[in-house]
Amino acid sequence: MKPLLNVLPAFFKLSVFVVVLSLLSGCFMDDEALIAQETLNVESGDKVEIYAREGGRKYRWKQISGIPVAIANKRSSTLKFTAPTVTEKTDLVFKLNAKFDEPIHDQITISVYPVLIINGHRLPPEPNEEENNATLEGIDVNDNGVRDDVERAIYTTYPVKIRQQILMQTAKAHQLMLADPNGVENAVKWQKVITNKAISCEFYLLDTFNVEMNSKAVAFHKNVLYNNKDRVKKYLKYNHALGGGVYGGYAEVESDCDFNVPEAMGLQQ
């Protein structure tokens, strides 16, 4: 069974990843649904394919709002087009009329976001909120170990590269804890990864390069990482499992930083 929604990001010179994003695969949950979902997020230049329910005798796609795009075949069950270049979030709305036993229709809103490249790093697209919050792990289309909404928040909130890398390291550790079905039972293990290594890295950067610690980053992390009830619940259980323990011992060595420190500091071309 082919996926119902495909997005193929465009190729570009500064790209650090190329992905094929299958947002939904398998059968339609609702036999009456003509289009699998009501919304989709894409970026400028993405090749978009949206599959309607098959088996109809006639199909007719029509764009009813937004920047006009060239639809490959308006009478196909599949909507295909290239997302236009935008400088801000732009909604495109498409309507599909089809005929099975009776005429039916449906529509989908596709939000096009500008491609964001910060410090040479292409950020992943803004994830669909419902899909991103459906699991503890959320969406990570570039497979770098950090949820896409968290990665975007880090890079757009903290413009300095070394600060971005520190926050990404901590976010990866939290993500691993969230993804671990035994994360609470393995609390001490994850505490060493989340706290000890991250703090050791920060102390190393402070002592070696005078990179000051950012106390506000702790609250920032909690707000963006634990942004719904299920994630907060997992974190509270993890935190409770550590209650009463004494944890410490920071090596303050470069090897506790999981990124290239000279490059992040701008000391390496």
**What confidence tens digit (pLDDT) does each residue in 101-112 have?**
899 999 999 999
**Assigned fold of 5-114:** Immunoglobulin-like (2.60.40)
Predicted TM-score (pTM) of the model is 0.76
- Where along the chain do its domains lie? 5-114, 118-264
Q: Which residues contact 216 (CB under 8 A, 6 or more apart)?
A: none
Bridge partner list, 24: 5
Residue 230 has pLDDT above 70, yes or no: yes
pLDDT tens digits, 35-72: 988 889 999 999 999 999 999 999 999 999 999 999 99
Q: What does the pLDDT read at residue 250?
A: 67
Over range 146-155, report the average pLDDT: 96
Strands 21-24 and 117-118: unpaired
Indicate the pLDDT class of residue 7, thresholds 50, 70 and 90.
Answer: low
